[in-house]
Amino acid sequence: MSIEVLFQQLKHPNPHLRDQAMWELAEKRDESTIPRLMSILDEEDTTYRRAAVKALGAIGPDAVPPLAEALLNSDNVTVRGSAAKALAQVAINHPDQPFPEAGTQSLKTALSDSNPVVHIAAVMALGEIGSPVVDILIEALQTTDNPALGISIVNALGSIGDQRGVEVLTDLIHNEQTDSYVKEAANSALSRLEMTEKFNRREQ
Protein backbone atom coordinates (compact mmCIF):
# COMPACT_ATOMS: atom_id res chain seq x y z
CA MET A 1 0.00 0.00 0.00
CA SER A 2 1.20 3.51 -0.75
CA ILE A 3 1.87 5.97 2.07
CA GLU A 4 -1.10 8.00 0.79
CA VAL A 5 -3.45 5.03 1.17
CA LEU A 6 -2.04 4.29 4.64
CA PHE A 7 -2.80 7.85 5.76
CA GLN A 8 -6.37 7.40 4.54
CA GLN A 9 -6.56 4.10 6.42
CA LEU A 10 -5.66 5.87 9.69
CA LYS A 11 -9.19 7.33 9.51
CA HIS A 12 -10.82 3.92 9.03
CA PRO A 13 -13.62 3.07 11.51
CA ASN A 14 -12.13 -0.42 12.02
CA PRO A 15 -9.45 -0.22 14.76
CA HIS A 16 -7.59 -3.29 13.38
CA LEU A 17 -7.15 -1.62 10.02
CA ARG A 18 -6.01 1.60 11.71
CA ASP A 19 -3.42 -0.34 13.74
CA GLN A 20 -2.21 -2.15 10.64
CA ALA A 21 -1.82 1.19 8.85
CA MET A 22 0.15 2.76 11.69
CA TRP A 23 2.70 -0.08 11.82
CA GLU A 24 3.05 -0.08 8.03
CA LEU A 25 3.56 3.68 8.05
CA ALA A 26 6.30 3.24 10.65
CA GLU A 27 8.03 0.72 8.39
CA LYS A 28 7.58 2.47 5.06
CA ARG A 29 8.02 6.04 6.23
CA ASP A 30 9.83 8.64 4.17
CA GLU A 31 11.04 12.11 5.20
CA SER A 32 7.51 13.53 4.99
CA THR A 33 5.82 10.93 7.24
CA ILE A 34 6.71 12.36 10.66
CA PRO A 35 5.90 16.02 9.75
CA ARG A 36 2.64 14.88 8.22
CA LEU A 37 1.67 12.87 11.30
CA MET A 38 2.63 15.86 13.46
CA SER A 39 0.24 18.04 11.44
CA ILE A 40 -2.67 15.73 12.40
CA LEU A 41 -2.17 16.31 16.15
CA ASP A 42 -4.69 19.15 16.20
CA GLU A 43 -7.31 17.36 14.05
CA GLU A 44 -10.92 17.74 15.16
CA ASP A 45 -11.45 14.12 14.12
CA THR A 46 -10.50 12.33 17.34
CA THR A 47 -10.09 8.92 15.70
CA TYR A 48 -7.65 10.30 13.14
CA ARG A 49 -5.76 12.27 15.79
CA ARG A 50 -5.40 9.23 18.07
CA ALA A 51 -4.25 7.11 15.15
CA ALA A 52 -1.54 9.69 14.37
CA VAL A 53 -0.46 9.65 18.05
CA LYS A 54 -0.14 5.86 17.92
CA ALA A 55 1.67 5.92 14.56
CA LEU A 56 4.26 8.37 15.95
CA GLY A 57 4.64 5.99 18.91
CA ALA A 58 5.16 3.08 16.52
CA ILE A 59 7.90 5.02 14.70
CA GLY A 60 9.73 5.40 18.00
CA PRO A 61 12.75 7.49 19.04
CA ASP A 62 13.04 9.24 15.65
CA ALA A 63 9.68 10.87 16.32
CA VAL A 64 10.76 12.21 19.72
CA PRO A 65 12.50 15.50 18.70
CA PRO A 66 9.46 16.97 16.86
CA LEU A 67 7.14 15.70 19.60
CA ALA A 68 9.30 17.32 22.30
CA GLU A 69 9.32 20.54 20.31
CA ALA A 70 5.51 20.53 19.98
CA LEU A 71 5.02 19.70 23.65
CA LEU A 72 7.19 22.65 24.70
CA ASN A 73 6.23 25.24 22.12
CA SER A 74 2.79 24.66 20.64
CA ASP A 75 0.18 27.17 21.78
CA ASN A 76 -2.52 24.60 20.97
CA VAL A 77 -3.44 22.54 24.02
CA THR A 78 -4.69 19.62 21.89
CA VAL A 79 -1.30 19.43 20.17
CA ARG A 80 0.57 19.54 23.50
CA GLY A 81 -1.65 16.83 24.99
CA SER A 82 -1.32 14.66 21.87
CA ALA A 83 2.47 15.11 21.84
CA ALA A 84 2.70 13.91 25.47
CA LYS A 85 0.49 10.90 24.64
CA ALA A 86 2.63 10.08 21.60
CA LEU A 87 5.79 10.20 23.77
CA ALA A 88 4.08 7.68 26.08
CA GLN A 89 3.42 5.47 23.04
CA VAL A 90 7.11 5.64 22.07
CA ALA A 91 8.03 4.37 25.55
CA ILE A 92 5.38 1.61 25.39
CA ASN A 93 6.32 0.42 21.88
CA HIS A 94 10.11 0.62 22.25
CA PRO A 95 10.86 -0.39 25.84
CA ASP A 96 14.24 -1.85 24.88
CA GLN A 97 15.57 1.48 23.57
CA PRO A 98 16.76 4.23 25.90
CA PHE A 99 14.26 7.09 25.86
CA PRO A 100 15.79 10.18 24.21
CA GLU A 101 16.86 12.93 26.61
CA ALA A 102 15.00 15.60 24.60
CA GLY A 103 11.76 13.72 25.24
CA THR A 104 12.43 13.31 28.95
CA GLN A 105 13.27 17.00 29.39
CA SER A 106 10.17 18.15 27.50
CA LEU A 107 7.96 15.93 29.67
CA LYS A 108 9.63 17.29 32.80
CA THR A 109 8.84 20.84 31.66
CA ALA A 110 5.27 19.83 30.72
CA LEU A 111 4.62 18.76 34.32
CA SER A 112 4.17 22.47 35.06
CA ASP A 113 1.94 23.10 32.01
CA SER A 114 -1.07 25.14 33.11
CA ASN A 115 -3.47 22.75 31.35
CA PRO A 116 -4.42 19.57 33.27
CA VAL A 117 -4.83 17.54 30.06
CA VAL A 118 -1.17 18.22 29.27
CA HIS A 119 0.40 17.76 32.68
CA ILE A 120 -1.54 14.58 33.42
CA ALA A 121 -0.53 13.16 30.00
CA ALA A 122 3.09 14.07 30.78
CA VAL A 123 2.92 12.17 34.08
CA MET A 124 1.51 9.13 32.29
CA ALA A 125 4.30 9.26 29.71
CA LEU A 126 6.97 9.50 32.43
CA GLY A 127 5.25 6.56 34.16
CA GLU A 128 5.70 4.52 30.97
CA ILE A 129 9.40 5.43 30.75
CA GLY A 130 9.71 4.14 34.30
CA SER A 131 12.79 3.84 36.51
CA PRO A 132 15.09 6.17 34.50
CA VAL A 133 12.79 9.12 35.29
CA VAL A 134 11.71 8.30 38.84
CA ASP A 135 13.74 11.25 40.18
CA ILE A 136 11.86 13.69 37.90
CA LEU A 137 8.52 12.40 39.20
CA ILE A 138 9.69 12.53 42.83
CA GLU A 139 10.93 16.10 42.47
CA ALA A 140 7.63 17.17 40.84
CA LEU A 141 5.64 15.44 43.57
CA GLN A 142 7.61 17.22 46.29
CA THR A 143 7.27 20.65 44.69
CA THR A 144 3.70 20.70 43.33
CA ASP A 145 0.83 22.27 45.23
CA ASN A 146 -1.70 20.79 42.79
CA PRO A 147 -3.41 17.78 44.44
CA ALA A 148 -4.70 16.40 41.10
CA LEU A 149 -1.17 16.39 39.67
CA GLY A 150 0.11 14.92 42.95
CA ILE A 151 -2.37 12.06 42.72
CA SER A 152 -1.39 11.17 39.15
CA ILE A 153 2.32 11.26 40.08
CA VAL A 154 1.64 9.01 43.07
CA ASN A 155 -0.13 6.52 40.77
CA ALA A 156 2.74 6.65 38.26
CA LEU A 157 5.31 6.00 41.01
CA GLY A 158 3.15 3.15 42.30
CA SER A 159 2.98 1.53 38.87
CA ILE A 160 6.75 1.87 38.30
CA GLY A 161 7.44 0.20 41.65
CA ASP A 162 10.99 1.58 41.92
CA GLN A 163 12.29 1.51 45.51
CA ARG A 164 13.00 5.28 45.52
CA GLY A 165 9.36 5.93 44.64
CA VAL A 166 8.12 3.50 47.26
CA GLU A 167 10.13 5.32 49.96
CA VAL A 168 8.69 8.69 48.92
CA LEU A 169 5.12 7.32 48.97
CA THR A 170 5.72 5.85 52.42
CA ASP A 171 7.01 9.24 53.65
CA LEU A 172 3.94 10.98 52.21
CA ILE A 173 1.61 8.70 54.13
CA HIS A 174 3.39 9.50 57.41
CA ASN A 175 3.64 13.25 56.77
CA GLU A 176 0.88 15.25 58.43
CA GLN A 177 1.21 18.04 55.84
CA THR A 178 0.24 15.74 52.96
CA ASP A 179 -3.04 16.58 51.22
CA SER A 180 -5.65 13.99 52.28
CA TYR A 181 -6.48 12.97 48.68
CA VAL A 182 -2.80 12.54 47.86
CA LYS A 183 -2.30 10.49 51.04
CA GLU A 184 -5.24 8.25 50.11
CA ALA A 185 -3.79 7.77 46.61
CA ALA A 186 -0.37 6.90 48.09
CA ASN A 187 -1.99 4.32 50.37
CA SER A 188 -3.84 2.72 47.44
CA ALA A 189 -0.75 2.77 45.21
CA LEU A 190 1.35 1.00 47.84
CA SER A 191 -1.27 -1.64 48.56
CA ARG A 192 -1.65 -2.32 44.81
CA LEU A 193 2.11 -2.66 44.60
CA GLU A 194 2.20 -5.10 47.54
CA MET A 195 -0.51 -7.19 45.91
CA THR A 196 1.42 -7.28 42.64
CA GLU A 197 4.62 -8.28 44.41
CA LYS A 198 2.87 -11.06 46.33
CA PHE A 199 1.28 -12.27 43.11
CA ASN A 200 4.66 -12.26 41.33
CA ARG A 201 6.31 -14.16 44.17
CA ARG A 202 3.57 -16.77 43.97
CA GLU A 203 4.06 -17.10 40.23
CA GLN A 204 7.78 -17.74 40.51
The answer to whether the beta carbons of residues 153 and 123 sit under 8 Å apart is yes
The mean of the pLDDT values for the chain is 95
- What CATH number is associated with residue 67? 1.25.10.10
Please check whether residues 125 and 138 belong to one and the same domain: no
Please check whether residues 152 and 64 belong to one and the same domain: no
Domain boundary among 76, 97, 129: 129
Please check whether residues 31 and 58 belong to one and the same domain: yes
* Distance (Å, whole) CA 32 – CA 66: 13
Residue 204, pLDDT > 80, answer: no
Domain boundary among 74, 109, 129: 129
Please check whether residues 113 and 165 belong to one and the same domain: no
Please check whether residues 118 and 198 belong to one and the same domain: no
Please check whether residues 62 and 22 belong to one and the same domain: yes
The 10s digit of each residue's pLDDT in 3-50 is 999 999 999 999 999 999 999 999 999 999 999 999 999 999 999 999
Please check whether residues 86 and 163 belong to one and the same domain: no
The 10s digit of each residue's pLDDT in 119-161 is 999 999 999 999 999 999 999 999 999 999 999 999 999 999 9
Please check whether residues 93 and 117 belong to one and the same domain: yes
The answer to whether the beta carbons of residues 105 and 72 sit under 8 Å apart is no
Domain hosting 11: range is 1-129
Domain boundary among 129, 154, 187: 129
C-beta neighbour count of 60 within 10 angstroms = 17
Please check whether residues 60 and 100 belong to one and the same domain: yes
Please check whether residues 70 and 157 belong to one and the same domain: no
Where residue 203 falls among pLDDT bands split at 50, 70, 90? confident
Q: What is the pLDDT of residue 197?
A: 81
- The tally of domains found in the chain comes to 2
